[in-house]
Amino acid sequence: MPTATEKTWTIPNQMKAMADAARDILDWLDGLPLSTRAKYSTVLAIEEMVTNVIKYGYDDCAAHAIRLQVSIDHAFVKLVFEDDGHPFDPTQRPAPDIEHIMNSRKAGGLGIELVRRMSERMAYERAGHLNRLTLHIRRLQPDDTQNIALATP
């Protein structure tokens, strides 16, 4: 395997399409040398961020595409999301009041914070009419017991 592996998905702005893509991505990740935690964190981050775009990114019922590039190198799983929804920078979203959310009957409100905590780095930019969010998730955590390495050239 080369020092980096990558694949790109184009996901329609529909929940079923997101679920189908998440299964396909997990199948792809299963064949790669990643810790279980990295695989779980990657799929969870994808589900959270794509769901947010589908639910809140558009005012219309038109078809939109969310582009996702997943690349893996010796240290990180890098996720790059691009969408043409409303400008939205999740890195500027304040930390939620977790106690208030836990005491509320309303579901939700923790997704962005969860992704922020799973990611080593989270960066946002508005490029023309596109939102571009980049996440870096560690392939291995300090307490992972698996010894997994990508082949070097």
The mean pLDDT value for 5-31 works out to 95
Model pLDDT, residue 152: 44
Q: Per 3-state DSSP, what percentage of the chain is helix, strand, and coil (rounded to 5)?
A: 35, 25, 40
By DSSP bridging, strand 65-72 and strand 76-83 are: antiparallel
Confirm if 143 and 125 have CB atoms less than 8 A apart: no
Give the Cβ contact number of residue 25 at 10 Å: 21
Cβ atoms of 89 and 112 closer than 8 Å: no
pLDDT tens per residue across span 88-136: 999 997 776 666 556 666 555 578 988 999 999 999 999 999 999 999 9
> Would you state the pLDDT for residue 113?
87
Question: Domain map of the chain by residue range?
Answer: 5-138
pTM of the model: 0.83
On whether the CB atoms of residues 114 and 52 are closer than 8 A, the answer is no
pLDDT value at 32 more than 70: yes
Please name the residues in contact with 151: beta carbons below 8 A apart, sequence gap of 6 or more: 1, 2, 3
| Domain at 5-138: CATH code | 3.30.565.10
